[in-house]
Amino acid sequence: MHANWALYCDNYLEGFHIPFVHEDLNSILDYGSYKTEVYEYCNLQIGYTDEATEVFNLPEDHIDYGKNVSAYYYWVFPNMMFNFYPWGLSINVVKPLDINRTKVSFISYVYDPSKLNEGAGSALEKVEREDEFVVENVQKGVRSSFYKAGRFSPTREQGVHHFHTLISKFLNI
């Protein structure tokens, strides 16, 4: 991808863009209840669904029992993503090639093939292309002399803020 690796992570870490970039995924996820939980070196985004689509069959003692969870998106600092769907696990490994080129590797572990084409974990290739398209355009945008960093959204960008805080901590800036 022709973009900086951190922009790929930024994009992954916020659900803000879902209604604007991922039309199909947005019809599955309940944007209003999309949630981010921040831990020390990782964070979790939970995608709930508003329809009777494919969801996790969670045991009674699970913290999310009774909720319609269609995806758990775990990000581990600085460059790994573990995406859990009812069909299994998809891992993204983000490798910087140079300042504006990035290689993303995808590794899938299928637990239940019958659910592969259902819910938030379906059509991942399309969602990925949609993300790459916007991230490459963000790369152009941040290089523009008109670009100025804005504030983080406290409700939609906790994950991006977490990432940037960790980056500045590790770079001592």
Binding site for Fe ion (CB under 5 A): 131
Q: Which is nearer to Fe ion, 10 or 131 (CB)?
A: 131
Q: Smallest distance, Å, CB 18 to Fe ion?
A: 6
Q: Which is nearer to Fe ion, 54 or 131 (CB)?
A: 131
Q: Smallest distance, Å, CB 50 to Fe ion?
A: 18
Q: Which is nearer to Fe ion, 40 or 105 (CB)?
A: 105
Q: Which is nearer to Fe ion, 62 or 76 (CB)?
A: 76
Q: Which is nearer to Fe ion, 45 or 68 (CB)?
A: 45
Q: Smallest distance, Å, CB 80 to Fe ion?
A: 16
Q: Smallest distance, Å, CB 72 to Fe ion?
A: 15
SS (H, E, C) the chain: CCCCHHHHHHHHCCCCCHHHHCHHHHHHECHHHCEEEECCCEEEEEEEECCCCCCCCCCCCCCCCCCCEEEEEEEECCCEEEEEECCEEEEEEEEEEECCEEEEEEEEEECCHHHCCCHHHCCHHHHHHHHHHHHHHHHHHHCCCCCCCCCCCCCCCHHHHHHHHHHHHHHCC
- Comparing every residue's Cβ against Fe ion, the nearest one is 131
CA-to-CA distance for 155 and 104, rounded, in angstroms? Answer: 27
Q: Smallest distance, Å, CB 17 to Fe ion?
A: 6
